[in-house]
Amino acid sequence: MFGAIVSGRLVQTDFQQIEETKLLLNIPDADNLNHLVIFLTGTTPLPLGTAGAVYWSWPDPNSPSKWQYLGYISNQKPSAIFKISQLKKLHEMETHDSMMMFGQSAISHNAQIGISIEPEATVVQQTPSTTNDASSYYQFGQRMLENFVNFASSFTITQSQMVPNPSETYVPLSTLTTWFNNFQRRLEQNPNFWK
């Protein structure tokens, strides 16, 4: 019923039916993908009054899947092209539990496409995920700030522990904390202030 073309690859039609109205397709080595085409193969039309809501996910073995709505296809709109190169792996920014040594998190190189057959009136009203979402900028900025402050704080020493070194420059931790608080306040007021 459905087919997928991932840029630079052969057509895939091997969707697995996981529920009566839900299908899943695994996409290996998805790190550098830019565009995705989903289409009806024409062998079987969708039931009248329904549409196929298309979702994208970076599966994580340590947490439930976080699906990003891309758009839809229907009998009246049998194919759609989706730009996926800018979709962020939001669950990697939100999850601190999956952090490993040296701050590297577990990264999935595989993706999944989900299609949910739903009433067309419901699907048409949904808003596709975008990378310009203010909350995702805020979450990224917040995590970046926390990571930087934690990293810099791990090197703190007291003044009595300092070994005089004329070529070394020191920044007081209070200065870093002030910068962190100011940046965080500005980020809360306007997530796009730094652009």
143 and 115 assigned to the same domain: no
Residue 195, in any domain of the structure = no
Query: Of all residues in the chain, what percent carry a pLDDT higher than 90?
Result: 33
64 and 144 assigned to the same domain: no
* Total domains, the chain: 2
Distance CA 65, CA 42 (A): 30
Q: What's the pLDDT band for 94 if we cut at 50, 70, 90? A: very low
Distance CA 181, CA 38 (A): 45
Phi, psi (rounded to 5 degrees) for 144: -65, -45
* Domain finish residue from 108, 125, 142: 125
Q: What is the pTM of this model?
A: 0.60
Of 50-54, 95-99, 144-148, 154-158, give the range with the top mean pLDDT. Answer: 50-54
Rg (CA), the chain: 23
Q: Across-strand partners of 39?
A: 3, 79
28 and 101 assigned to the same domain: yes
* Domain finish residue from 94, 125, 156: 125
Is 70 exceeded by the pLDDT of residue 194? no
Residue 7, in any domain of the structure = yes
Express each pLDDT in 36-74 by its tens digit. Answer: 999 999 999 999 999 999 999 887 767 777 888 999 999
Identify which has the larger pLDDT, 4 or 99: 4
Q: Which domain holds residue 47?
A: 2-125
State the sign of the Cα–Cα–Cα–Cα dihedral 141, 146, 149, 154: negative
Tell me which DSSP letter residue 102 carries. G
